[in-house]
Amino acid sequence: MEKTMRKGDRGRRIIGSLALCSILLGLYFGLIAAPPDAYQGEAQRIMYLHIPSILTAYLSFFIVFIGSCLFLWKREKRDDILAYSAAEIGVLFTGLTIIEGSIWGKPTWGVWWTWDARLTLTAILFLIFVGYLMLRSLIEDESRGAVCGAVLGIIGFLDIPLIHMSVYWWRTLHQSPSILRPDKLPWENVHPSMLIALSVNFVAFILFYFYLLSLRFRLGEMREEAKALKLYGGS
C-alpha cells in the first residue's frame, strides 16, 4: 500500500513539474513571443487561454462520462471518484472559459456578453456541471448519489451534441454573416509563433489539468479510506 502510494505521488510530481515548465513557457510565448493580431491587437492573446481552457473543459466532461459509464458497469468506487473529481475541476475550467470569453469580447465586440453560439454553449456546459455537483451534494446516501451522478453524467454527455446542433442552428439562422467573428481561427495566414503559443499553452493546460485531477482523485481515495477506517476499524 505504501509503495503504490509513493509511485502515484511521484507520477503526480512529475506531471506537476512538467506542467509548471509548460505554463511558464506558455506565458512567455503567449504574452511576449507571439505577435499581436492585425485586427484585434493585444486582446487576441486571450485566445491562448480561451481555446485551451474550453478544450480542457470538454475533456473533463468526457472523463466524467467515462467514469460514469465505468461506475454503472463495474460499480467500483474509484470510477465514481474519478467522475466526481473531473466534474469539480470541469466546473472550474468551464467557469474560467466563460470569464475569458467575456473579457475577450469587450475589446473586440464592445460588449461583455453576447448570445453567440460559443459563449452560450459554454454557459450551458457550466450549468450542467453545476447541476452535477449540486445533485451529488444534495443526495445524502453515498451509493445512491454515485448512481444518480453517473446517470446525469451519461445523459449530459449524450445531450451535448444535440445542444451543440440546436444552439448553432439557432444562432446561424439569425446571425448576419457580416459580423466579424474574432474567435474563428484564421488558419490561412496565421503566424507560426501564434501556433506555437497556442500549442504550448494547450499542453500547459492539459498537464496542469491532469495534475489537479490526480490530486483531487487522491483526495477522494483518501476520504474513502478514512471512511472505511471509521466504519470498520481496519483496512
Contact 34, 45 (CB under 8 A): yes
Give the three cell numbers for residue 67.
467514469
> What binding mask, one character per residue, do residues 55-84 give for another protein by CB under 8 A, x or -?
-----------------x------------
> What binding mask, one character per residue, do residues 113-152 give for another protein by CB under 8 A, x or -?
-----------x--xx-xx--xx--xxxx-xx--xx--xx
Q: Residue 195 interacts with another protein (CB under 8 A)?
A: no
Contact 79, 71 (CB under 8 A): yes
Tell me, what amino acid is at 193? Answer: S
Identify any residues that bridge with 37 across adjacent strands, giving them in sequence order: 41
Element (H, E) at 225: helix 192-232
Rounded CA-CA distance 123/154 in Å is: 19
Rounded CA-CA distance 26/39 in Å is: 22
Q: Residue 169 interacts with another protein (CB under 8 A)?
A: yes
Summarize as ranges the residues that interact with another protein (CB under 8 A): 27, 31, 36, 40-43, 45-46, 49, 53, 72, 89, 92, 95-96, 99-100, 103-104, 106-107, 124, 127-128, 130-131, 134-135, 138-141, 143-144, 147-148, 151-152, 154-156, 158-159, 162-163, 165-167, 169-170, 173, 208, 212, 215-216, 218-219, 222-223, 225-226, 229-230, 233-235
